[in-house]
Every structure is written in structure tokens, then in C-alpha cells.
Structure 1
């Protein structure tokens, strides 16, 4: 899939200011709250890291992030990540676009150690995001079936009634969560794919920062804060 590229600004970080903020990454706050809640449910279904944090974010006015402003190569840059841990003097690349003369970064990378700070919920490219949503939706359905099987112990209930009830409940929940929010969820994936394409990474749609980070940590790399990844 072809993706339009973001602009890249490269240089040494200067005049960095980091502050706590609540940010809605979708235009509509209600959409954001619903989508963030879905992400947390799907993460929790497979015990994914960050599920609790995402669930807390979904109940607030936005995601609780560390926003920042800085100068990079003499240009003003702003953005927000779960954790903003780069420092003045670091050589980085900021990936994003300009709005009203200010560069809005959706990602910042440290090429020397292949570390990337990524806008919340944008950990996977388009193909990986589809796989993630479909897989975790199936797991969620299995959890519903198992839960009903455990709770409903009345032997007088026919198997077909149990099957229809579990199926109907699963379809209803998934429709009002994943299906209605598919476009919103994929917006995050397209952002990740565009960042990957801008950095000329191989197969941007198949990027999975969670997986690549886990692999690098297993190989001996140090742990990273939430929202910071190896690529």
C-alpha cells in the first residue's frame, strides 16, 4: 500500500519543555473515549501491556500524556507522547506535519539506537492492526462463550439456546465497539504506516513496535518507558 510521507526535521534538541497534558487524538472527544476504551478492552483480552493505562485514559477527557515543545534545527516542534524522555542535546528526527507554522510531531526517533517515541495508540501498521483487531476480537468471543458456559449451569437450558445467546451477545458487543469504530482504530494504523514510509522502513504496513521492542529487550537491550519503542 502506498502512503503519503510525513515531513522529517532532523537536528539537536534545544529549549525542550515537557509538561503534563490530556490530549484527544481524534477530532471528536466522544469518538476518542469510545475508541480508547475499545483498545483497552482488546489489550486486556490478551493481557497486553498498557491495558490499564489505556482504560484510565478512556475515562478522562483525553489521554494523559507528556506534551512537549522544543527547537530542532532552529525550527519550533511540538507533540505529545505517553512518555517524553529525550533530552536537550540529543540528536533526533521529528516526523510529522506543519500547522500554522508549527511542526506537529507524531513521532520522534533516535537513529543511533533505533528508538522511537510514537503518538499513543499508533504502535502497529495497517496490516498488523487488522490482524491485531481480528485476533483479539476472536479471543473476546471465546471469552464470552467460556464465561456463559461457566455461569449458566442450568441443565434445563438447551444447547442451542446457549449457543444463540453467546453468539448474539458477542456480535452485539463487537458491532457497537470494533465495527462502529473500525475507521477510528485504523486511523492510528495509517499514522504508523506513514511514519514507517517516511523513514523508509521495510514494509511499513507490517510494522509492529510492540513485537520489535519485545524482541530487542530479549536480545539484551534495556527496557523502555511506555510509548517508547525499538524499531
Structure 2
């Protein structure tokens, strides 16, 4: 499928009418053909390289397709359509939409309902670049720590030594280089994943800016949505649509 380019985004504001939404399957990962539109590095990671974010596409891994909502509506009489990860909107909502003009309609990349600060974006767009990098560093530290603890437990159980003795062996010359090498491997893998998912973060940042969200360069919708669940929210809240 063709992916909308983030360049030339504008904000439409008004009331939704003639709203329809259908759940359909498509591939939302940026391919090489999309680079001419986005000017960004393509995402073509295999499922094994995607870490936690791959869970959302696990059910369609072989086809690299996943389900999202295709939205069609009018905003104050202007035709709008496009993909949102999940759409919690309805007829009569007063919204702001980040869109780009096509031949006969506006292509939708994000929509916000200021009344309750609900927002939904193109699939996998939830963080701008700064929190995207911070999140990657956090997971690098977590994985590195998990690896270190795992090695300590393994060595103490196999060699029948105390944890203190196993820890001391980390500083032996040969083993020290092994551990350093493993941490470099983890860092390289984390950097590669961060780079591959960067296009979504860059698109998200442009949408945040277009919608006029506070601090668009530092917006993390996953974080800002925590603790703000409302009774009418579906299970997808905080994962596929958010609050800012």
C-alpha cells in the first residue's frame, strides 16, 4: 500500500459528519519505495528484529500485515480519509486533524479530540524522536542488565560458586572481553532497531506539531496516557489510541 508523506501537513478543525470506519488489514511498514516520499530510512525489519513492538503484528507475521482502522468522514464539509491505528471518534465530535491534500480528498495521519484530549495516529506512531531514543536506551540498559544477571546465575549454578565469586570472574581478562563484546552486540542491535523505527517517530513528531500538541519534540503518548483511562475506553487505549 502507499504510505502518506508527512511533508505538507495542515490542520483541519471542525465537526465530524458522515463518519465510517472499517477494520482492515494492510502492511504499515515503510518500504524502499516510501523513502522518496518520506526522505527517511525504510523500515523492513523481520519480526525477530522488532522486539516488543512486533507483538502487535504477531498474528499476521507471515504476511507482515496487521489490522487498523480505515476512516472516512467529512470535517466541516471537507472529505477526509486515512488510516488510524484505532479510531475512537464518532459523528458530531469536534476534532483537529493532521492531513495532506490528495487529488480529491485530505489524507489523514492523525486526529485529536480536544474535549477529552484523545488522539489517534497512523499505525505505530506514538512517540517523537527524543522519547523514541530515550526508550531505546532504557531497553538497552534493561537487556544488558538482564544478560549480566543471567550470566551470574548461570555461572554460579554451573560452576557451583557464590554470586560474589561469579561476579569477580567478570573481571578476568578473557571473560571481561567476552562480556564487553556481548554488550557491544546488544548496543548495535538496539541502535539498528532504533534506526529502523525512526520513520514512525519522525512522522509522529510532524503530526504532533501540526495538531499543536504541547512540546511536540518530546511527546510520548504511551507515557502521557498512563493513569488517564476513562470508563468508555476500549482495551486498545494506551496502545493504539491515546491521551495527550
TM superposition score category, shorter chain reference: 0.7 to 0.9
CA pair 56-17 structure 1, distance change in 2 beyond 3 A: closer
CA pair 15-123 structure 1, distance change in 2 beyond 3 A: closer
- Structure 2: which 5+ residue stretches go unaligned? 1-5, 34-41
Aligned to 1:211: 223
- C-alpha RMSD of matched pairs (Å): 3.1
Deviations 1:88-114 (A, max 9, x none): 333322213234443221111112111
Q: How many residues are paired up?
A: 217
CA distance in 1, matches of 2:220, 2:128: 7
Aligned to 1:229: 242
SS of residue paired to 1:214: coil
TM-score by structure 1 length?
0.77
Match of 1:75 among 75, 78, 92: 78
Cα offset, 1:221, TM superposition: 6.8
TM-score by structure 2 length?
0.73
SS of residue paired to 1:210: helix
Match of 1:201 among 208, 213, 233: 213
Cα offset, 1:142, TM superposition: 1.2
Aligned to 1:167: 180
CA distance in 2, matches of 1:196, 1:178: 25
Deviations 1:127-180 (A, max 9, x none): 1111111111111111122223333444399533444334323422442x3323
Cα offset, 1:36, TM superposition: 6.7
CA distance in 2, matches of 1:107, 1:36: 26
Larger Rg: 2
SS of residue paired to 1:140: helix
- Structure 1: which 5+ residue stretches go unaligned? 44-50
Deviations 1:36-84 (A, max 9, x none): 755533x6xxxxxxx7325546554233222222333333322223322
Aligned to 1:134: 137
CA pair 130-227 structure 1, distance change in 2 beyond 3 A: same
Aligned to 1:20: 24
List aligned pairs for 1:72-111, cutoff 5 A: 72-111=75-114
